[in-house]
Chain A
């Protein structure tokens, strides 16, 4: 037992230096040089003003903006969280119904079915994306709120639609913040 103390303590100290100091600092140093935009959160800076991160969603509930995923974290990017509602939880049905009501109140004549990602909370509470179907669902509302034609808004949606990565991975999606920045003429 006692003969193990020296190797145990020294080895832990040395491995702490290697994996706890050298490793993260090397990774940070290399990453700062190779990907300076990425390391700090891929922030969107326009004319000196920082509007957010391209990977972090924001709260949108004004009819003139596209709305993102419902967030259990209220889009607080310093305290990420999902809803953790089970599939039978009555609260899940309640909040989903409230979201449906809000979407329909803002756009009463929309004949399209509401896509599921627009009424369900994301895992992180910070999902920056919605499905293409969810973006197209909102085109009519955004267009009329802004006095634009639906074709103009649709073409913007298409511009900000990301396909599957390398044509295979993930799901086709629309980045809500980037799209809304473009609508405001900021992109």
Chain B
């Protein structure tokens, strides 16, 4: 941990937190249908979309209508992406002549991108045509992110409104999220990334002559920058190339890396401020952001420390792992020199705290505790910043649990932001928290007890167990990153992980909308002396406690069989 390690971490947090307020305030305006600076350009486009689609932007929906609209839109998107992959061989923009994607892989990828998971069983440059990447992947990157943001906006309205059944209009929230937030941010980011060396072209792969051998080296290129920008901003994470953002043409410089890392947490963090702004008390948003940041910082330090410490096996071979001004040192297996240890560990932590799942290093090659950090962050339910929208609505489910438990302790009816929390909300919040736990643990158990699940494990011993646990943690929480040694492009994993992703996304979004509908329908309770304030340090510590206890109780036994035992085997 030298000076530059600290400096890069401090600058990262500093700039992230500086951007929270301006972007958060802007997004609040987007969801409250206020005037925006981009109105003169995008307003006509927005109105044209509504007119052509037959959307009346002034009518609002009940939670059930909202949920059905969301599901219909997502299912149609899913079918479209599936069809596109199956038919790409007959379509244009396919200079490498790539054929149809097999059905099980196409199903997995369609679910993966519609559900904002972006788990990749396939290698981008060897599987997907440019057309599939553009019309399938890139579009789902936008609309799956916007789906999460829309559901969050609906939940916030449910909290702020009273005695109404209406929680907003899904079509409007979807359209405005894409047009006013994701589209402009992505365009700017894409261009800055190209300036650093990310490719953006529709031409075929480049043939060059290798210097030493004189043989031809075929370099995959493509419209990568535009896709990288949205995959980072929309917490999607699906790489253009097989190795995602460790590929030098997807992430060529330390500065492109900084921007891509910043983009992972940018919108999820800023949405906390949006939340505070919309409920009329920004302290509420800052409190939740503080909860997230404390857990993040604690786990980040474990990851950096673990990776910088290096691998005793290399020490035994006499290899120099000492960090110095000339040597990044540490466990460099599966890492790029330009990023070194700190930027690899920071990325791994950020991408799993948020449900992004892009990588700039190979998590499978991390030291046991370095790999435990991203795994556990996913298992906590993707709420430490989390996915765009989905992270905060998952966090609010934990807040409901925390408020409820604290209410029980003092014997008062629990309330949050002027709304009574009753049995119905508790049931729904419990579903939100328990379903991913169930998916991860049952999925892992099924995979390990079947030949098909064990056949494609890459690493021996406890690490092989970790590969499977990681895969289901990732799919069951819509993250998408992988211990990539696991051969996941098999019918078993394509189908099993596809089911996990589908359930994790929609069986959580629907109860969240149910909470929104129920809260919107309630009367507002004025705060009294007995009301538990939900912006204080005490409450922050309390929520952290609830998250950690639930996360630890659910997953400690599983983690003990994987990374913890591996750590003890190496260092014990």
Which A residues are within 8 Å of any B CB, using their own CB? Answer: 1, 4-12, 14-16, 18-21, 23-24, 26-28, 30-32, 34-35, 38-44, 49-62, 65, 69, 75-90, 92-93, 96-97, 100, 113-117, 119-134, 136, 164-166, 168-173, 177, 180-181, 184
Interface pair A131/B139, CB less than 8 Å apart: no
Q: Chain B nearest CB: distance from A32 CB in Å? A: 8
Q: Is the CB of A96 within 8 A of B242?
A: no
CA distance A81 to B123 in the complex (A): 9
Q: Which residue of B202, B462, B483 contacts A28 across the interface (Cβ within 8 Å)?
A: B202
Residues 328-370 of B at the A interface (beta carbon under 8 Å): 328-340, 343-344, 359-362, 364-368
Complex CA distance for A24 and B49, rounded to whole angstroms: 19
| Nearest-neighbor residue (CB-CB) of A173 within chain B | B337
A82 and B208 in contact, given A27-B191, A55-B252 (Cβ under 8 angstroms): no
- Assess A87 versus B333: contact at CB under 8 Å? Given A31-B200, A96-B314: yes
Select A39's contact among B45, B126, B201, B248, beta carbons within 8 Å: B201
With A21-B134, A87-B311, A169-B255 given, is the CB distance from A39 to B227 under 8 Å? no
Contact status B197-A125, CB under 8 Å = no
- Asked if B77 and A165 make an inter-chain contact with CB atoms under 8 angstroms apart, the answer reads no
| 20 examples of A-B residue contacts, CB within 8 angstroms | A12-B139, A14-B52, A21-B135, A34-B195, A35-B195, A38-B197, A38-B200, A41-B221, A58-B211, A80-B123, A82-B484, A84-B484, A89-B460, A116-B320, A117-B328, A120-B314, A122-B334, A133-B324, A165-B253, A170-B340
Please state if B463 and A88 are interface contacts (CB–CB under 8 Å): yes
Complex partner residue of A11 from B55, B197, B336, CB under 8 angstroms: B55
B residues 119-134 in Cβ contact with A at 8 Å: 123, 125-126, 134
Nearest-CB residue, chain A, relative to B246: A123
Counting from the closest, the 7 A-B pairs by CB-CB distance are A170-B254, A84-B485, A123-B246, A86-B463, A169-B254, A171-B340, A10-B53
C-beta contact mask, B175-196 vs A, less than 8 Å → 1, else 0?
1001100110011001100111
State whether A12 touches B77 (Cβ < 8 A): yes
A126/B247 in contact, CB under 8 A: yes
Given A16-B139, A113-B318, A169-B254, residue A38 in contact with residue B72 (CB < 8 A): no
- Residues of A near B221 (CB, < 8 A) are 40-41
Q: Are B200 and A116 in contact (CB under 8 A)?
A: no
Instruction: Given A11-B171, A81-B242, A184-B211, verify A173-B338 contact (CB < 8 Å).
Output: yes
Most chain A beta-carbon contacts within 10 A, residue among B201, B310, B337, B566:
B337
* Docked complex Cα distance between A180 and B242 (Å): 27
Q: How far is the CA of A50 from the CA of B327 in the complex (A)?
A: 31
Complex Cα gap A40–B208 (Å):
12
Given contacts A82-B334, A116-B330, A132-B326, contact A40 B199 (CB under 8 A): yes
C-alpha gap A23/B184 in the complex (Å): 10
Q: Give the residues in chain B near A59, CB-CB below 8 Å.
A: 210, 212-213
Complex: A24 Cα to B478 Cα, angstroms: 25
Asked whether A77 and B242 contact (CB < 8 A) given A23-B138, A92-B333, A171-B339, the answer is: no
Q: Are B142 and A128 in contact (CB under 8 A)?
A: no
Beyond the given pairs A7-B55, A52-B209, A120-B333, 11 more chain A to chain B contacts, judged by CB atoms under 8 angstroms and listed by A's residue number, are A1-B68, A23-B138, A27-B191, A42-B252, A50-B208, A51-B210, A60-B211, A88-B569, A96-B317, A126-B247, A129-B336
